[in-house]
Amino acid sequence: MDFNDTPEEAKFRKEAYEWLKANASLKEGPKDGWRAASEEEGLKEVKVWQKKLHEEGWACMHWPKAYGGRESTPIERVIWGQEVSKFKVPGGYLEIGQGMAGPVMMMYATEEQKERYLPPLATGEEIWCQLFSEPAAGSDVAGIKTKAELEGDTWTINGQKVWTSGAHFSDYGILVTRSDPSAPKHKGLTFFFVDMKSPGIEVKPIKQISGGANFNEVYFTDVKIPDSQRLGAVGDGWKVSLTTLMNERLAVGDASGPDFEEAFSLARGQDLNGKLAIENDAVREKLADWYCQQSGLKYAKYRNISALSRGETPGPQSSITKIVSGNKLQEVANFGLDILDSAGIIRTDEEGAEQSMYQYGFYGAAGIRIAGGTDEILKNIISEQVLGMPQDMRADKGIPFNEIPTGNK
């Protein structure tokens, strides 16, 4: 039992580190990192950085070389991720395209389409979004209603999507629709990719509880999609969706925000009732709990990496990461504000103010526990896929979709 690389892994790690050292600057502390002045600026910087990554062979590392990748092993991707986390480099914007749209295109698009669409994903020239959730289909995502009707070889799309991250700056989207409302829920779906500049697509930002707007509503009014942009067979949309949902679950990681280290250092510097907070037994107990959760996740990840290193596939056990870290973030954020006593309620947006970190965590955690699979859906996945327990009895099984009550009725 050790934490050491194999000689090949060590060689790869050195190569990655040296390339990064030559092309980016090291973080100066745990809280240091890349920040963009605005979303627009961020997008520009990400595209420049991604282009460079691609030119030197570090983009979409596990993809075939023909589409812009380097055909890396899973453990090489992990090592790259570990090394890149030491540097201040632009990030965001591309994950959905590269992590979810890319794999589904690779499985279902024609060779010609792959050659056209995959390389610009790897170079960062084109941004993609994922058009799945709807107002009446969140956790029950197969309950979508957006209508797709075929005439000749053109589909007409009408309906509404929601929670679409980055729709406002995306070039393309992957889209799941209902092509047969009289078929049972999972049977009548059809999957497409769509040009986000198509006439009839309207993107409206959703204001979140934090005041920011990372998501959108996307309205489709008589949007035309050629049948050649269908992915998978007509009626097979659920099967195609599962490919991307599986990739989404693998992509969702640790909740970002204040963690044990921040709470520990806060408690060591902040007075509570006349003495340092760290001397308060209730504070110590909470800190110990968070440390154990953080440590448990860290070493669970090491166990997964060890499995990758041996050439095995880690199981869906990794679903515990988001549940544990999302809830931990919510508690840590609440603690960080609580320790400021009554003053913790005062909102501050001052750059670098300790409070603002906990305030963003306070808002953010509420979203993390829902995004990419709620705590409850993830617990269903753990109990069904890891522990082998049966599905809950469904009231909508075998019934034509248009006879099933959905949403708020």
Partner 1 sequence: MNFEFSADQMQLKDIARKFLEKEETVKRARTILEGEESYDKDLWSQVAEMGFTATAIPEEYGGLGLGYLELCVIAEELGRSLAPTPFSSSVYLATESILQFGSDSLKQANLPSLASGEKIGAFAHTESTTSPTEENITCEFKDGSLNGSKIAVTDGDVADFFIVSAKSGSEVGLFLVESSADGVEIASQPTLDPSRSHAAITFKNAKAEALDSGWSNITTLLDRAAVLFSFEQLGGAEACMNMAKEYAMGRYAFGRSIASFQAIKHKLADMFIAVELARSNCYYGAWALSTDAPELPTAAATCRVSASQAYHECSKENIQTHGGMGFTWEFDCHLYYRRCRQLAANIGSQSIWKDKLISSLERANQI
Piece in contact with partner 1 (CB under 8 A), picked from 38-46, 149-157, 365-373, 388-396: 388-396
Q: Which of 152, 139, 225 is nearest to 190 (CA)?
A: 225
Beta-carbon neighbour count of residue 29 at 10 Å?
Answer: 6
Interface residues for partner 1 in 253-292 (CB under 8 A)?
Answer: 261, 264-265, 268, 278, 281, 284-285, 287-289, 291-292
Q: How far is the CB of 103 from partner 1 (least distance, A)?
A: 25
Neighbours of 383 (CB within 10 A): 14
Residue 228 to residues 92, 261, 320, 380, Cα–Cα distance (Å): 30, 52, 39, 36
Is the torsion defined by CA of 167, 170, 172, 173 positive or negative?
A: negative
- Residue 126 CB: number of other CB atoms within 10 A? 18
Site membership for partner 1, residue 397 (CB under 8 A): no
- Binding partner 1 (rule: CB under 8 A), the pick from 121, 129, 297, 357 is 297
Out of 57, 182, 302, 353, the residue judged to bind partner 1 by CB under 8 A: 302
380 belongs to the binding site for partner 1 (CB under 8 A): yes
Q: Residues 319 to 348: which contact partner 1 by CB under 8 A?
A: 320, 323-324
Structure tokens that stand for 131 in this block: 């058009």
φ/ψ of residue 190, rounded to 5 = -135, 140
Considering the rule CB under 8 A, would residue 293 count as an interface residue with partner 1? yes
Query: CA–CA separation, 373 vs 84, rounded Å?
Result: 27
Q: For the CB of residue 295, give the shortest distance to partner 1 in the complex, in Å.
A: 5
Please give the C-alpha separations between residue 245 and each of 96, 249, 252, 381, in angstroms, as whole numbers: 11, 6, 11, 12
Q: For partner 1, which is the closer residue by CB, 35 or 303?
A: 303
Q: Check residue 305 for interaction with partner 1 (CB under 8 A).
A: yes
The answer to whether the beta carbons of residues 39 and 103 sit under 8 Å apart is no
CB neighbour class for 1 (10 Å; exposed up to 12, middle 13-18, buried from 19): exposed
Tell whether residue 187 is a contact of partner 1 (CB under 8 A).
no
Residue number with CB closer to partner 1 (130 or 330): 330
Which residue number, 31 or 204, has a Cβ lying nearer to partner 1?
Answer: 31
The reply on whether position 313 binds partner 1 by CB under 8 A is no
One of 273, 342, 391, 408 touching partner 1 (CB under 8 A):
391
Residue 252 in the binding site for partner 1 (CB under 8 A)? no
Judged by beta carbon, residue 111 or residue 281, the one nearer partner 1 is: 281
37 CB neighbour count, 10 Å cutoff: 8
Binding site for partner 1 (CB under 8 A): 1-5, 9, 261, 264-265, 268, 278, 281, 284-285, 287-289, 291-293, 295-300, 302-303, 305-307, 309-310, 317, 320, 323-324, 376, 378-380, 382-384, 386-393
